[in-house]
A and B are shown apart, each in its own frame.
Chain A
């Protein structure tokens, strides 16, 4: 394969500025994106006819907005250069196999087929939207300082709730797979690239377009449904709802492609000796997550397409008055939605189990158990979705089954806990920042899991369903499970990705302030839910005021802890710029045997493996991989 062959960097002569501005790059993409947007808007208004009933009466045109978004995204991607490869192929010309891998800083702003560049792009892109989502959360908590809506008002409040939820549930599906799996999965399995490098880049730019579209909802009145987008509220909402529909559909496309790419890479591109039983556990978690993404995301896309048709051409999939059913949307949404929450949780399991051996200086305990736990969760997560609908009256006779399947899923999740227990057992732990975040995962996910027992029990769920109790539960599992491990991965791998060190002391400040304020924010929410506070309300019973103020203040401290992190990143990576050692954690995994940052071609030769990456505790560790790194640079 010529694609895998290393091509040395040619010494490029920099063309003049005007020549560099014209071409397939971010500038062209934005110009074509805006152009496509207005073209879609125009076409939408031309084809709208009186059969699209509500346009004249409300001065809103969903057809135009949906087309504007679609054309805009298409223009953006064409401008980025994603059409070049297929067009070249159609014309019979030989396309370039590796694109823009050698161009210094500008490759981070365009289509680049280097998986390490895409990883860095994801890290920053997702980071930006994570902060936007977090800011929404702080505005929500500011509103809840009062028991009646006084700060932003009920309409903006719901938009904030919807944006916060969608941002976190949509963009963060790729929080670990985007940056860390794209960056490290090829290296960990001994490959030089992903199976589909262009698709890899496409998933990132699709996700960025999606995030931008979600934020643009504020220009169209926001949307009132929260991240679940329930019908028929969805159908009666203003145009801002279309932003949600396109946003989540694009996230779905991005997820499905990302998942396919990961599966193809892990199945076909493992280096000699990298057998399934030597695969690092993080790669296994990516594998399991990718299966979920590929199988669940298309359901979401189909559901949203139906919702869009209901909103535009007058179909009635979800409109009770026209023969449709609001149950149908709930059913389809949660068939996607429950695997989706494991898309968020599983990579966290992988990170914890990957990092614990390094910091306890022990092999991973119960490798096969961990793998079967992850695959078990993957399988079972498709069989539990109606526990979100225990009180809805849908298939009420089946509730004992869903109660059972929901509780059964705690068995494979328990495997992960047993592996954590076993790996910690008699270990020689050191408590660097990534290790602290992993241990915090143990605490948080435990609280999240135990509270889940109350939610899975139908009689008990009658009280807690739709209340702040649920909110607390999934913040413990998703924020406590995903975001904490996301930070663990950042502190662990940033030295490899950038070649620079993050300040350890600031990292510890960040960890402790985040861990304490996180618990101080979300533990009281269990009590609030049990005392009768429903989710997504902008006013609540006056006797819950004190507790809400406590939660809001804790949330502000939590927001402040993120500023410590941001300060650390800016301070350490931009001002201090202290070189990191090649292997600061003394890890035996293959990525740490390469120079930091990893050179463009990863390895000079494809490595061969004859062991798993956990030969800790052995006096003469076996040979794990022939890395022979390429010379640094590029």
Chain B
């Protein structure tokens, strides 16, 4: 036939590309993957994203290189009307493909599950009774979502409720996310935390902030017309500054705290019917 050995050529191109590109992606793109290193959980996500990128890159390269190669070499010669070879399948290739993709899927799923459990839910909302809980002391903070703001309640500090969120650095925080009306989602972007706020549900997420500074909080579930405006900023501060701040809040909001219902994991929501 005089055809070049396409399989060998493709394998060579792909191998070289993979060996060059994958390390570059892992070394240079991996560390700048969001959400950053502001908490143990977000640092974990950066690692996960890097691993997934590292696994996805060879697959992406294989198919992109193949598509480009096919478009360049597997074409009709100029002006000819030739028929292609009559190939209808190859059991060995199909079996190999199934085995390899199955193995990759298995690795992905095991890796994801292990990371999810080892990292205590990896900052995700894990329901009212998470299977994986961090040991040691935890600071409970309740996140109360309503149209269209988040407020925060600190049950271990007299149940004070404030519109500001400050967290002490290096302290495992137990977030209890709930809603008073519709579904919202509490997304602390740089901390790698996301937990849906459902009425009558106590959705728990764990996070351990490691870096001082500001982080962004956004609602990430459509909750009505001001959904896009439902954002504010939280701060990670030193434990001493946190103590000072929370006592200040207790003093400022003392008159409000008296009027509040006692701390509970969920509150009976306001009626969501029109006109009631």
Interface of A toward B, CB cutoff 8 Å: 53-58, 60, 149, 154-155, 158, 224-226, 228, 230-233, 235-236, 238, 319-321, 325-327, 330, 360-369, 389-397, 399-400, 403-404, 407-408, 410-411, 414-415, 417-418, 421-422, 424-431, 439, 442-443, 446, 450, 453-454, 456-463, 465-467, 530-532, 534-541, 586, 616-619
Given contacts A155-B225, A391-B194, A532-B35, 17 further A-B contacts (CB under 8 A): A54-B276, A230-B183, A230-B221, A231-B183, A320-B198, A321-B272, A361-B84, A366-B88, A367-B89, A393-B198, A418-B97, A426-B84, A439-B67, A457-B108, A458-B124, A465-B194, A534-B228
Contact between chains at B192 and A530 (CB < 8 Å): no
Closest Cβ of chain A to B74, distance in Å, is 5
Instruction: Collect the chain A residues with CB atoms within 8 Å of residue B271's CB.
Output: 321
Chain A residues with CB below 8 A from B76, complex form: 361, 428-430
A407–B109 contact, CB under 8 A?
yes
Interface presence of B260 (CB below 8 A): no
Contacts of B252 in A (CB 8 A): none
Distance from B35 Cβ to chain A, minimum over Cβ atoms (Å): 5
Contact mask for chain B residues 118-129; partner A; CB cutoff 8 A; 1 contact, 0 none = 010111111110
Residues of the B chain whose Cβ atoms lie less than 8 Å from the Cβ of A461? 124
Report chain A residues within 8 Å CB of B93.
Answer: 418, 422
Binding site for A on B (CB under 8 A): 3, 6, 33-35, 41, 44-45, 48-49, 52, 55-56, 59-60, 63-64, 66-67, 70-71, 74-77, 80-90, 93-94, 97-98, 101-102, 105, 108-109, 111-113, 115-117, 119, 121-128, 130-131, 177, 181-183, 185, 187, 189, 192-196, 198-204, 216, 218-229, 268-276
B residues in contact with A427, CB < 8 Å: 70, 74-75, 84
Q: Is the CB of A232 within 8 A of B228?
A: no
* A366–B87 alpha-carbon span in the complex (Å): 9
Q: Is the CB of B88 within 8 A of A367?
A: yes
Which of the residues A231, A442, A459, A617 comes within 8 Å of B86, measured between beta carbons? A617
**A459 contacts B124, CB within 8 Å?**
yes
Given contacts A362-B84, A428-B76, A616-B83, contact A422 B101 (CB under 8 A): no
- Contact (Cβ within 8 A) A403 B109: yes
Q: A459 to B119, Cβ gap below 8 A?
A: yes
B230 vs chain A, min Cβ distance (A): 9
Given A460-B48, A532-B218, A618-B83, residue A392 in contact with residue B228 (CB < 8 A): no
Interface core residue of A54, A231, A235, A426 (most chain B CB under 10 Å): A426
B residues in contact with A54, CB < 8 Å: 273-276
- In the complex, 9 of the A-B residue pairs with CB atoms within 8 angstroms, ordered by the A residue number, are A232-B182, A236-B273, A321-B269, A396-B131, A411-B98, A414-B97, A463-B192, A530-B34, A617-B86
Q: Which residues of A contact B82 (CB under 8 A)?
A: 361, 428
Q: Which of A158, A320, A467 contacts B225 (CB 8 A)?
A: A158
Task: Tell me, in angstroms, the Cα distance from A58 to B276 when the chains sit together.
Answer: 10
Docked Cα-Cα span, A186 to B6, in Å, equals 40
Given contacts A368-B89, A461-B124, contact A421 B66 (CB under 8 A): yes
Q: In the complex the two chains form, is B228's CB within 8 Å of A403's CB?
A: no
Residues of B within 8 A of A321 (CB): 199-200, 268-272
Measured between beta carbons, the chain A residues less than 8 angstroms from B80 are 428
Report the separation of the CA atoms of residues A409 and B63 in the bound assembly, to the nearest whole angstrom.
Answer: 18
Knowing A226-B222, A426-B84, A535-B220, say if A450 contacts B60 (CB, 8 Å): yes
Contact A230 B222 (CB under 8 A): yes
Nearest 5 CB-CB pairs, A to B? A57-B275, A537-B228, A393-B203, A54-B275, A362-B84
Residue from the list B66, B113, B181, B203 in contact with A232, Cβ < 8 A: B181
Tell me which of B49, B66, B74, B105 contacts A454 (CB under 8 A).
Answer: B49
Q: Is the CB of B87 within 8 A of A426?
A: yes
Considering only CB atoms, which chain B residue lies closest to A442 in the complex?
A: B67
Q: Which residue of A lies closest to B203 (CB)?
A: A393
Is B125 a contact partner of A392 (Cβ separation < 8 A)? yes
Report yes or no: A400 in contact with B274, Cβ–Cβ below 8 A.
no
Please tell me if the beta carbons of A58 and B194 are within 8 angstroms of each other in the complex.
no
Instruction: Decide if B86 touches A225 in the complex (CB within 8 Å).
Output: no
Quick one: which of A320, A458, A535 contacts B222, CB cutoff 8 A? A535
CB-based contact A363/B71 at 8 Å: no
In the assembled complex, the CB of B56 is this many whole angstroms from the nearest CB of chain A, namely 5
Question: CB within 8 A of B88: which of A365, A410, A430, A446?
Answer: A365
